[in-house]
Structures are given as structure tokens and as C-alpha cells.
Amino acid sequence: MENQGFRKNLINIEPYVAGEQPKNDNIIKLNANENAYPPSPEVQKAISGFDAAKLRLYPDFSGEPLKSTLAEYYGLKPAQVFVGNGSDDVLAAAFRAFFNSDMPILYPDVTYSFYPVWCDILRIPYKTIPLKEDFTIDVNDYAQPNGGIIFPNPNAPTSIALEKSEIVKLLDANRDVVVVIDETYIDFGGESCVDLLDKYDNLVLTRTFSKSRSLAGMRLGFAMASEELISYMNAVKDSYNSYPVDAVAIAAGVSAVNDDKYFKDTLAKVISTRERLAKALEDMGFTVAKSAANFLFAEHNKFTAQEIFNFLRDKGIFVRYFNKPRIDNRLRITVGTDEQTDKMISALKELIG
Ligand code: PMP
């Protein structure tokens, strides 16, 4: 065939691969760190009561009134909050806005596998920093010339949180670059750095409604930073898609934030099941990292992660297995309801004895 030269200009990237999505409702899905519980009943009310006539108009381009609701909740000015279409969208805006140096950005070797994908598609140079043997971050490794830093706290898929005093050390050694902390799982036990935003005008925190607020299907995320940095994220947003968050999602998000009791009760349930599951896994011969998230990172002393993954999958229980260096004998298991957890423990007992 002639004139097929267009193929050399097609994009050449390896996209992010999400956890498998089951074809039927009987599957126990513990592979995407979704919340075990539904969102607040106030969210249901907001959606049911939403006036479809309002969809005639574009939503507020800055995500109001959700932005102000979040600002008030976290004690910030509305101009310090950026609202987006899930934290993936928010992170993508942050990568575009802040990582424009010729120097490599730094992030851990074992971390959220979307970071290398954004670096590839945006042509951002990067360098991975190995976690310590116990999968914790050594902040001293980040005291080197760089074009920016990003890491999740707690980290994923390790579930391990970094202490705030360590983060302060990292920030003090990196005043000339933007440091993005991906706080996707922070509500489940880590210490947020929101109070550091006053002191560090180069710090950006990203958050999501997908995990602690049970709204993965709504696609809502946000960032908190200095007004200056947020203005750059808005400039990026307005250069791609001025209205990423739809009007129904804005209404649902406001209702979720306003029901603080439900939020805290749900967190407490997930945390209590997490601790029970961790103990049960340890009793069965697993080594389990100390989790500050809504998932566990575990390795068995006899069965390989791949074997356990396949066994559970055959039983209709989906967990996450990453065939990647350093973590290919570990499973990442989302904390489900108590009933789901009991079913998984029983299934594991069948295999392990
Ligand atoms: N960061 C981390 C560390 C995650 O695990 C996830 C979930 N896949 C995200 C960001 C993105 O979540 P969402 O886009 O649903 O907010």
C-alpha cells in the first residue's frame, strides 16, 4: 500500500492499565481500592433531586459551589482549591503545570503506575528513587537536583504512610521545585499536609472523592495549594477543557462533604475491617505492610502471589497483582465489607489451610 506514512506520527505510549472490571455482579471486587460502602445518603438525595433543566447550561467553570465547600472544610481560601474530573485529571493538570524543567522529576520506583505514563505522554524526564528494602521512602534520597517531586502519601501499592516530620525534611531540601503529594488515601490513616500549605508555597496536595467518599463512579478530585500554583493549574485546565466537572457531580460532591458524620463513620468501619483482615492474613502466613490506606499489601511465605491471585479469581474474588520488579510476589487487596472480607478469608483458608 502507498501513502501509509501517517503511522510514524501516531502516538507511541504504554497506557495505564486499571484493575479488571467484572462482567457480572457476583464478583467480590477488591482490586481497585474502591470504598466498600456506598456514598452518603445525602448524595443520593442530591442526585434524585437534581433538576435536569439545569443541564441546559454549562456547569460553573471552577467547580463552584464545590470549590468553596472544600475550601471551608479544609480552612483554605477558595482560590487555593482546584476541582477536577477525578484526581487522575487533577494530577494530569499538575504534571502539565509544574513539571516543565529539563531536570528529571523524582518519584519512588514502586508507586502509582500512572506517573510514568504522564511523563511519557508529556515528555517529562524522570528518575525513579528506589524505596528502602521495607518499601518505605527515605527522604534523604530526594535531596538531589531535580525538576519536581511527586509521591503518594500513603504510597500505593505499598499502603505505607510517610511521617509528616519526614515530609518537612523533604520540603526543606526542595524549596526550588514543586512538590506534589498525592493524598488519594490520606483519610484512611495518614497525616495530611494541609497545614503545611501556609509555609510551603511550592507544595501541592491532590485528593479524590473516589476512595474515602465512595464516589469513584462520579469522577471527582481536587488539589490544594497556594493561590499562585492553583492559578497555573486553572490555566492548564482552561487550555484543555474549561468545564471538567459536570453539574450533577458538583451537587453530589457538596452533599458528600457536608455529611461529615457519615464520612467519619465510614472511615472507621473500613479501618476496623482493615485491621481485622491484616491480623487474619498474618495468622495465615502473610507478611502485611503497616497500612494507612483502604488496602493491604501482602506477601505469603509459601504460595506465590500469582498462585493466590489465580485461586481467588477462580472463586470470583478479584484482588490486584502487579507483575513488576520488586512487587511480583505481593498482592494488593482492597478492604471490602465485613461479609466480603469473611468470604475472602474462607477462600484463602481453603488454599492455604
Ligand atoms: N493516585 C493514586 C495513588 C491512586 O491509587 C489512584 C486510584 N487509581 C488515583 C490517584 C486516581 O484516582 P481517581 O482518579 O479515581 O481520583
Contact indicator for 156, 111 with CB cutoff of 8 Å = yes
Q: Is the peptide bond before 39 cis (omega within 30 degrees of 0)?
A: no
The pocket around ligand 1, CB under 6 angstroms, is made up of 86-88, 112, 152, 156, 182, 184, 208, 210, 216, 221
Q: How far is the CA of 113 from the centre of ligand 1 (A)?
A: 10
Domain boundary among 259, 281, 301: 259
Pick from 18, 110, 23: which is nearest to 313 by CA? 23
CB neighbour list of residue 49: distance below 8 Å, 6 or more residues apart: none
pLDDT at 3 over 80: no
pLDDT at 13 over 80: yes
Identify the domain containing residue 53 by its residue range.
Answer: 41-259
Residue 91 near residue 225, CB atoms below 8 Å: no
Q: Using a pLDDT cut of 90, give the percent of the chain over it.
A: 93
Domain identity same for 270 and 163: no
Per-residue model confidence (pLDDT) at position 1: 60
Q: What distance in angstroms lies between residue 37's CA and the mean position of ligand 1's atoms?
A: 18
The 10s digit of each residue's pLDDT in 179-219 is: 999 999 999 999 999 999 999 999 999 999 999 999 999 99
- CATH number of the structural domain spanning residue 30: 3.90.1150.10
State how far the Cα of 131 lies from the Cα of 1, in Å rounded to an integer: 50
Can you give the CATH number for the domain in which 183 is found?
A: 3.40.640.10
Q: How many residues does the chain have?
A: 353
- Pairing between β-strand 320-321 and β-strand 149-152 as defined by DSSP bridges: unpaired
- Ligand 1 atom index nearest CA of 208: 16
236 has pLDDT over 90: yes
Q: Are residues 12 and 115 in the same domain?
A: no
Residue with cell 483519610: 187
**Closest Cα to atom 6, ligand 1: which residue?**
184
The whole-angstrom separation of Cα 9 and Cα 333 is 40
**Do residues 50 and 22 share a domain?**
no
pLDDT value at position 341? 97
What pLDDT does residue 25 have? 85
Distance from C-alpha of 136 to C-alpha of 155, rounded to nearest angstrom: 9
Residues 302 and 232 in one domain: no
- Reported as a single tens digit per residue, the pLDDT across 283-340 is 999 999 999 999 999 999 999 999 999 999 999 999 999 999 999 999 999 999 999 9
83 has a pLDDT exceeding 90? yes
**251 pLDDT exceeds 70?**
yes
One domain for residues 339 and 205: no
In 3D space, the residue among 210, 341, 194 whose CA is nearest the CA of residue 275 turns out to be 341
Q: 112 and 27 in one domain?
A: no
Give CA 156 to chain center in angstroms: 8
Confidence of residue 32 (pLDDT cuts 50, 70, 90): very high
> Average pLDDT, stretch 91-99?
98
Number of domains in the chain: 2
- Three-state SS for the chain is CCCCHHHHHCCCCCCCCCCCCCCCCCCEECCCCCCCCCCCHHHHHHHHCCCHHHHHCCCCCCCCCHHHHHHHHHCCCHHHEEEECCHHHHHHHHHHHHCCCCCCEEEECCCCCHHHHHHHHHCCCEEEECCCCCCCCCHHHHCCCCCCEEEECCCCCCCCCCCHHHHHHHHHCCCCCCEEEECCCHHHCCCCCHHHCCCCCCEEEEEECCCCCCCHHHCCEEEECCHHHHHHHHHHHHHHCCCCCCHHHHHHHHHHHHCHHHHHHHHHHHHHHHHHHHHHHHHCCEEECCCCCCEEEEEECCCCHHHHHHHHHHCCEECEECCCCCCCCCEEEECCCHHHHHHHHHHHHHHHC
Q: What is the pLDDT of residue 191?
A: 96
For ligand 1, the distance from its centroid to the CA atom of residue 322, given in whole angstroms, is 16
Atom of ligand 1 nearest to the CA of 220: 16
If asked whether residues 123 and 142 sit together in one domain, one would say yes
Please tell me whether residues 56 and 28 are part of one structural domain: no
**CA 7 distance to own-chain centroid:** 34
- The pLDDT value given to residue 18: 87
In tens, the pLDDT along 164-182 reads 999 999 999 999 999 999 9
For ligand 1, pick from 31, 83, 110, 112 the residue to mutate: most ligand atoms within 8 Å of CB.
112
Amino acid identity for residue 92 in this structure:
A
Minimum mean pLDDT range among 3-7, 217-221, 278-282: 3-7
Which residue from 154, 155, 105, 157 is spatially nearest to 129, judged by alpha carbons?
105
Q: How confident is the model at residue 4 (pLDDT cuts 50, 70, 90)?
A: confident
Q: Chain-wide mean pLDDT for the chain?
A: 97
* 34-80 pLDDT per residue, tens: 999 999 999 999 999 999 999 999 999 999 999 999 999 999 999 99
Same domain, 77 and 219: yes
Same domain, 234 and 282: no
Residue nearest to atom 8 of ligand 1 (CA): 32
